Structure 1
Amino acid sequence: MIAAAEAELARTHADAFALAQEQTSRLRDASTREREMPLRSMAAELAVDARVSDRTLQTQLFEAHRTVTQFGASWEAWREGRVSRAHVRVIVDAGADLSDDEVRGAYEAEVLAYAEKTSAGRVRAFAEQVVEKHNPKTMQERHDEAVLDRLVWVEDLRDGMSMLGVIGPSVEVHGVHDRLTRQGKAIKTVDRAARREAAERDAAERDAGEPTAADDGDAAESSVWFDERTLDQIRTDLLLDMMLTSSPSVDPTSGAVEGGLGAIRAHVQVTVPATTLAGTTTGGAELDGKCAVDPETAKILAGNVPSFDRVFLDPITGAVLAVDRRFVTAEQKRYLVARDIRCRFPGCRRPARDCDWDHREDWALGGKTDVDNVGAFCRRHHAMKQAAGWTVVQEPGGRLRFTAPSGLEYTDDPPPRVVFMPDPPPERGTEPTDQVSAPF
């Protein structure tokens, strides 16, 4: 029953993709951007309703259409419960390069017969072998096409951690991992040598009847330091250090950009409650409205920035009330970045500082350039709003009411804020003896 429901949802997505293609075919002499809008708008509305990213939904529409139209036998087996969604994904991904219908049909029949007998993980290796047998393209041709899809992405995890991923040519990627491994092992070798020297020195001092560092815990901590990191931890630290501080070996901007690419530093927006900086609370810091930042890192960052933007929040609702030094243009942006945090299209997480500043009521039609009529829209959703028939009305409190081309309405509120209150003062007679000073 689950497989049948999933398969039917895929067919619905395939029908939606086909409808968007039909709408696109009616456009005559349209620009590339205009021809993208039917599919973008279709994916956006389905995504808002499903509460997922519209980019994710657009990919699902494409993959569903490809599955239903090009791998019909696999879709039927999925609907009948003979294989799972994971099996179908493996079959489709491995056979995506087979453009000839007859060749693709022979490949699908051979792999599907095996998929009905085993797990999706085992099917992948077999499917790749079958593709190699049927694929008219050489390995070099396939690699030359695949390398165009290289990319880097970030996925936010829990507890102030994130994952950096990269897809690139195998030789370079394995070379990076190998270099980090060899550098990490070199650090471990030096550490082992330092430990051995310290042990030999302690042994010599002990034989001479002198006190050793190991006999004095405080002295050991102040004079001897060993690297307790694992190899994985060292590799990660090396990668982040080199990526944040080094210059690329090939710099096409040399002469055009002062200092070249090596002079460009990372730029992030960190929101930190004053109570966290003062040490009276231990939470609330966040990065670009996406993920949490641990308090110690927030304090280090705060100690190295040239200036601050104070954001005043409603103590009950957490809504942004005002931002210091608010003037006509730059300061309005400060306010809007603090209020919107990210692109205001439902489900989008693009940081506001990387977005366009969209007028809800078009400036050319008399719309005012003020915070009640302007907000953050990423370039993708800004273009779709203008070209695909979406309308937006801003209501009090920063709430946006969207009307899709279908006529259905959706709302988006500014990101909720959690107000962190200071801990109550200790009862008289229970004050700690060690006073912790504020970071400023």
Structure 2
Amino acid sequence: MATIDDEYRQRADLLDEWVENQRQIAVLQARSASLLSRRIELHDEDVKFDGFHRDIYYRSMVAEYSAAGRIANGTMDKAFSDAHFLSEYPRLWDAFRRGSVTAAHVHEIIGAGFVVSDAVTAGTADAEVQTLFEVSALVIAERCTPAATRVELRSLAAALTGSTVAEQQKRARSERAVTIRSVGDGLALLQIVLPEHLAVAILDRLTRIAQQVIKTRADLDPVLDLDVLDSGENPLRPEDIDPRYDDGTAAYADGVIFGESGTFTTDPLIDPLVDDSSPDLEHPPVDERGIDELRADIVTDLLLGSDPTATRGTALDGIAARVQVTIAATTLAGEDDRLAELDGHGPLLPDDVRALAGRASLWSRLFVDSTGMLVETDSYTPTEAMKRFLHARDQHCRFPGCRMPVHRCQIDHNHDHAKGGRTHLDNLSVFCTNHHALKHPDIDERHRWTARQLPGGDVQWTSPLGRAYADPPPRRVMFV
């Protein structure tokens, strides 16, 4: 009979084998990139004396690999591009060959590195900045998911070449657009390209309105369609229903509600599946839309001029979009033009933040040390001060790799309050609902995670297998 130790060992062995397989996959990805790089060298030889056909030769090469590998042309094009620019990152190449980073990490590093290489080429940054970026990027990539790596690298590149990022963002404003394309089955993709902070705010507001609809839709008054009652093979009309039997007793007291002037409706509180005496009752349809469907319907209502409060539930008009940004006081006052940061996403132009400041109802004054670590925030009352501090410090869910914004997360006592955990900053962290649930005491200990805060603000998660995964607090980027 297997013991608990045997069960844990088996699960641990499976995890170790999976991690090793992932590393080997990355090694194979590096070999594939090397093959693509060699193919690009052959391509360069082909077009050395025929530059006029360079583009068509390249497209032909990509198309062949795309067809042979049954890979989308755009994906194959990105793979060739990444393989080509890897030659500029020798340390990244070595890490890729060892399997320390994946192809997805490589793609994010190269993409973010264009800002740095452009600045070096333009002479606005020293050549050593490229090396600094590569070394820092590897440290980030070896502990973060590709998505989290992208966010941190955008901030890193902005910190190293602030002026270049600002100029690129200003130039990119001209690329704002709205496009549409069919996706089949009567659906279409409506795509809006606009400044990132506005897109984040729009999605946040749609999400919060949808959540309010889900929360309050049970409170909506039922509306019965009388046209349905008065149509079909056996239409139901007021004169067809006598509210009393011949002896004068109520006939449909439990199924029909009568009003003035002969009007009537069925009782929406009676369930025909439960009440066998009223099998023909009509009931309003239940709103079973998911949050994605609701967001799509709500943005349609808003764009087409419908009133979301009247059509989608209660208290929706009071929901405003929210974004969290960080900006130096001197920049906010207009004394300089250092880049701000759209927390959890990357650099933001100071003019955009100044525009937001004119409409904001709350700004938190933060104090950071020389490394960018948040050490203090101003306060009003102790409880609110702690919440504001945690939101400002954590920025997003503190599970490794999770980027759920703080305003959609919960504040957790790392050491359970019911078991003596203090309501103190060194015992509190922000977790999204999905990761918060991992440490719920009702979960069997064989599957339950634990989390504790270490000195300095790191949150150390311990898996059911006893493996520890640390999440350092997000650093505030110092744009200098």
TM-score (norm 2): 0.39
